[in-house]
Amino acid sequence: MSLINRVKALPEGFVWGASTAAYQTEGATTVGGKGKTMWDDYLVAQGRFLPDPASDFYYRYEEDIRLAAESGVDALRVSIAWTRIFPAGDDAEPLAEGVAHYHDLFACCAKYGITPYVSLHHFDSPKALFDAGDWLNRHTIDAFVRYAEFCFREYPEVKNWFTINELISLAHSQYIQGNFPPSHRFDVESAIQCQHNLVVAHARVVNLYRKLDAELGLGGRIGMVNVITPAYPATESAADKHAADLYNAFYTDFIMDGAFKGRYTERTMELVNEILDANGARLAIEQGDMDEIAAASTQNDMVGINYYQPAFIAAYEGESTNSFNGTGEKGTSTFKFKGVGQQVTMEGIPTTDWDWAIYPKGIYDVLKHLAATYPEMPVAYVTENGLGHKDPEPGADGIVADPERIDFVDAHVEQVLKARSEGVNVQGYFIWSLQDQFSWANGYNKRYGLIYIDFDNQKRYLKQSALWYKELAATKRAS
Ligand code: BGP
């Protein structure tokens, strides 16, 4: 029986991918001399769940890559664990086992006809650098550039590089929401400084790649991955509209301006400064930063856009306060940001158990908006989108029934293809995620995978969504 519903066929050549991240999948956190990340001790102290063995991907990558290929996936987002190469982030010598591991992983992708898209940083700063201030300390940027150079020289087989995954999520989750270490809440000064320093780090690595490419003929592409959470005003009132503008400036425009315009526009800074003033915060830009950013802005070959949900924003005059739903107990999250606005739920818009609004049109709006605002932007890929869900166990046929996920992804891909048919240069879609893995601030019960993992014994099962993915993949050849 066919599972095809809204989307009938994929365009020829459309990249049909799946995403993963090293720390969420690999496990083996102490193997081969691997150094600690900012998460290891934090998760132990938190006492809710642990990063070992995660999805055991360090050992079982071949099985997962084979299942990916069998599910019609032709591109796989993975990340290199910085501390598998340099355990303290900035060591003189790399770790042999870690270096060899990623050669093996990329060779395995090639064996199954899957193109790797590789991020250098996916939320897993080395603990040694994290303890010294993480991205707020400029030394981390220098160390990141050295690590990037090592990877570019070591892995010429990688032709698609991403610098940093979701720059805004680091700033937001570490310093505003407080659900990533070091768990500051509404520390606006650190958040905006983190955003800027990440844009500088991204720019320096893009400029480096261009230089090395000219020297060594690497022949690959580079870009960044960011998540866009579009803010819509809760009502048509001028106050709510302004609140949504403030939210968009802080959460989207600042980073996208830096990355693709090579400067923070006047309008963006007017709004960002309004937020900084309301919170007694300031941003420090060092000499040379803006030149580096300007030089990189036209040198990106691609951009990865992640989209999960919109934010509906109403004006708010009070103090900042939030509660984070990390357990999947519906209706437990609140978010009120002084100087910006408060998040509200909208009648008629469904939400997940983790209170994420399900709004497929948002991805269309994001792609159209970015294409119009950043004509300089290179080819885009949707590098993450998917449904976090409490999936049932496998049925008698060994398949996991996840019709909610098929429905979610189908509706979002439909909107992506609509934007594409209206001229947006979007050339691929990567579902989050390939296999079930733990969610940073939520744990193992928030499943996203095409492949189900029984975390008691690491057995893999296909979900219905994997069968649907495969069926759609076949339409590419047919079209
Ligand atoms: C993105 C991250 C992923 C992944 C995903 C789902 O922000 O890049 O690593 O975790 O979101 O989010 P969550 O795990 O919080 O549900």
Provide the CATH number for the domain around residue 395. 3.20.20.80
Q: Residue 395: inside a domain, yes or no?
A: yes
User: Which tens digit of pLDDT belongs to each residue from 291-310?
Assistant: 999 999 999 999 999 999 99
Instruction: Read off φ and ψ for residue 356, nearest 5 degrees.
Output: -90, 125
Tokens 């930063």 identify what position? 289
DSSP string, 456-470: TTTEEEEBHHHHHHH
Evaluate: CB of 442 within 6 angstroms of ligand 1. yes
Structural domains of the chain, count: 1
Q: Residue 2: inside a domain, yes or no?
A: no
Q: Residue 6: inside a domain, yes or no?
A: no
Task: Check whether 62 has a pLDDT greater than 80.
Answer: yes
Q: How confident is the model at residue 477 (pLDDT cuts 50, 70, 90)?
A: low
DSSP string, 110-151: HHTT-EEEEEEESS--BHHHHHTTGGGSHHHHHHHHHHHHHH
Q: Are residues 452 and 400 in contact, defined by beta-carbon separation less than 8 angstroms?
A: yes
User: Which tens digit of pLDDT belongs to each residue from 23-42?
Assistant: 999 999 999 999 999 999 99
Q: Residue 143: inside a domain, yes or no?
A: yes
CA 167 / ligand 1 centre spacing (Å): 12
User: Which tens digit of pLDDT belongs to each residue from 87-137?
Assistant: 999 999 999 999 999 999 999 999 999 999 999 999 999 999 999 999 999
What residues pair up with 430 in beta bridges, in sequence order? Answer: 17
Residue nearest to atom 9 of ligand 1 (CA): 21
Residue nearest to atom 12 of ligand 1 (CA): 439
CA 182 / ligand 1 centre spacing (Å): 18
What span, in angstroms and rounded, lies between the C-alpha atoms of 408 and 385?
A: 9
Angle between helix axes 238-248 and 266-278 (nearest 10 degrees) is: 100
Q: Are residues 279 and 340 in contact, defined by beta-carbon separation less than 8 angstroms?
A: no
Q: Residue 196: inside a domain, yes or no?
A: yes
Evaluate: CB of 446 within 6 angstroms of ligand 1. yes
Q: Residue 329: inside a domain, yes or no?
A: yes
Q: Residue 464: inside a domain, yes or no?
A: yes
Q: Residue 285: inside a domain, yes or no?
A: yes
393 as an active site residue: the answer is no
What span, in angstroms and rounded, lies between the C-alpha atoms of 441 and 9?
A: 35
pTM here is: 0.98
User: Which tens digit of pLDDT belongs to each residue from 454-467?
Assistant: 999 999 999 999 99
Domain extent, residue 205, equals 15-478
